[in-house]
Amino acid sequence: MEEFIGKIWHNWVTKAAGGHYPQAAVKLADVEKTAGILFRAFGGDPGLKVAAATAEQHGARRHWLQRLAGSNEKVSQARRDAETLRLPPEIAAFPEKSLNRDLYLWLSAIAACDIARHRPWFIRNQQAALTALQRYPGLRPRYERLVDAHLANRIPPEEMQADEAAQETALRQAMRQPGSIDGLPPLSSKKSRPPQPVLLWLIAADQATAGRLADPDEELPPEGSGNPEIAKEAHKAEQVETPENKNPMLYMFRAESLPTWAEYVRVNRAYDDDEDPNAKDAAKDLDQLSLTRDSQTAKSRVKFDLDLPSAAEDDTPIGPGIALPEWDYRKAVMQEKHCLIQPMIARDAEPADLPAELAATAKKLRGQFAALAPQRRWLKAQPDGPELDVDACVRNHADRASGHTPDSGGFLAQARCERDLACLLLADLSMSTDAPISDSHRIIDVIRDSLLLFSEALTATGDRFGIYGFSSLRRQNIRFHLLKDFGKRYDAASRGRILAVKPGYYTRMGAAIRQAANILSEQAASRRLLLIITDGKPNDLDLYDSRYGIEDTRMAVHEARRMGLTPFCVTIDREAGSYLPYLFGPAGFCVIRKPEELPRRLPLLYVQLTRQ
Instruction: State phi, psi for 2 to the nearest 5 degrees.
Output: -60, -40
Q: What is the pLDDT of residue 63?
A: 64
Share above pLDDT 70 across residues of the chain, in percent, rounded to a whole number: 74
Whether pLDDT at 567 is above 80: yes
Instruction: State phi, psi for 138 to the nearest 5 degrees.
Output: -65, -15
Q: Torsion-angle region of residue 300: left (phi > 0), alpha (psi -120 to 50) or beta?
A: beta
Q: What is the pLDDT of residue 56?
A: 79
Q: Is the dihedral of CA 212, 216, 222, 223 positive or negative?
A: positive
CA 7 – CA 3 distance, rounded (Å): 6
CA 486 – CA 522 distance, rounded (Å): 10
Do residues 589 and 605 make contact, with C-beta atoms less than 8 angstroms apart?
Answer: no
Question: Residue 26 is which amino acid?
Answer: V
CA 610 – CA 463 distance, rounded (Å): 11
Whether pLDDT at 242 is above 80: no
Please enumerate in sequence order all residues whose Cβ is within 8 A of that of 21, keeping only pairs 6 or more positions apart, or say none.
Answer: 92, 93, 94, 95, 100
Q: What is the pLDDT of residue 11?
A: 58
Q: What is the pLDDT of residue 336?
A: 95
Whether the full predicted model's pTM is greater than 0.85, yes or no, is no
Share above pLDDT 90 across residues of the chain, in percent, rounded to a whole number: 42
Do residues 77 and 199 make contact, with C-beta atoms less than 8 angstroms apart?
Answer: yes
Q: What is the pLDDT of residue 428?
A: 95
Cα-only R_g, the chain: 32
- Least confident range from 68-72, 76-80, 118-122, 367-371: namely 68-72
- One DSSP character per residue, 248-302 reads TT-----TT---------S---PPPSS--TTHHHHHHH-S-EEE---S-----SS
Q: What is the pLDDT of residue 2?
A: 66
pLDDT digits (tens, 9 = 90+) for 146-170: 999 999 888 888 888 888 889 889 9
Which among 128, 124, 147 has a CA at the least distance from the CA of 136? 128
Q: What is the pLDDT of residue 442?
A: 93
CA 376 – CA 382 distance, rounded (Å): 15
CA 448 – CA 159 distance, rounded (Å): 71
Three-state DSSP class for 528? strand
Whether pLDDT at 264 is above 70: no
Q: What is the mean pLDDT of residues 364-376?
A: 73
Whether pLDDT at 459 is above 60: yes
Q: What is the pLDDT of residue 66?
A: 60
Q: What is the pLDDT of residue 339?
A: 96
Whether pLDDT at 441 is above 60: yes
- Least confident range from 105-109, 374-378, 476-480, 565-569: namely 374-378
In terms of average pLDDT, the best of 107-121, 280-294, 547-561 is 547-561
Q: What is the mean pLDDT of residues 254-278?
A: 49
Residue 272 burial by Cβ neighbours in a 10 Å radius (0-12, 13-18, 19+): exposed
At residue 300 the predicted structure's pLDDT band, cuts being 50, 70 and 90, is very low
What is the pLDDT of the chain when averaged over all its residues? 80
- Least confident range from 225-229, 422-426, 572-576: namely 225-229
Do residues 605 and 454 make contact, with C-beta atoms less than 8 angstroms apart?
Answer: no
Q: How many CB atoms lie within 10 A of CB 518?
A: 15
The DSSP output letter for 276 is: -
Question: Residue 374 is which amino acid?
Answer: P
Q: How many CB atoms lie within 10 A of CB 274?
A: 8
Domain 317-369+420-611 CATH superfamily: von Willebrand factor, type A domain (3.40.50.410)
Q: What is the pLDDT of residue 422?
A: 92
Q: What is the pLDDT of residue 418?
A: 60
At residue 49 the predicted structure's pLDDT band, cuts being 50, 70 and 90, is confident
Whether pLDDT at 12 is above 50: yes
- Least confident range from 90-104, 311-325, 483-497, 582-596: namely 311-325
- Least confident range from 39-48, 406-415, 462-471, 598-607: namely 406-415
β-sheet bridge partners, residue 384: none
- One DSSP character per residue, 64-113 reads HHHHHHT-SSEEE--EE-SSEEEE-SEE--SSSHHHHHHHHHHHHHHHHT
Whether pLDDT at 141 is above 80: yes
Sketch the domain layout of the chain as residue ranges.
2-205, 317-369+420-611, 376-416
Q: Angle at the Cα of 506 (from 503 to 510), degrees rounded to 5?
A: 120
Three-state DSSP class for 455? helix
Whether pLDDT at 302 is above 50: no
At residue 118 the predicted structure's pLDDT band, cuts being 50, 70 and 90, is confident
At residue 569 the predicted structure's pLDDT band, cuts being 50, 70 and 90, is very high
Whether pLDDT at 274 is above 80: no
Strands 411-416 and 322-328: unpaired
Q: What is the pLDDT of residue 218?
A: 46
At residue 335 the predicted structure's pLDDT band, cuts being 50, 70 and 90, is very high
Number of H helices, E strands in the chain: 17, 21
Q: What is the pLDDT of residue 403?
A: 79
Q: How many CB atoms lie within 10 A of CB 429?
A: 29
Higher model confidence: residue 410 or residue 112?
A: 112
Q: What is the pLDDT of residue 15?
A: 56
Whether pLDDT at 245 is above 80: no
CA 242 – CA 597 distance, rounded (Å): 49
Task: Give the helix ranges, DSSP H, for 136-271.
Answer: 140-153, 162-176, 207-210
At residue 209 the predicted structure's pLDDT band, cuts being 50, 70 and 90, is very low
CA 405 – CA 416 distance, rounded (Å): 30
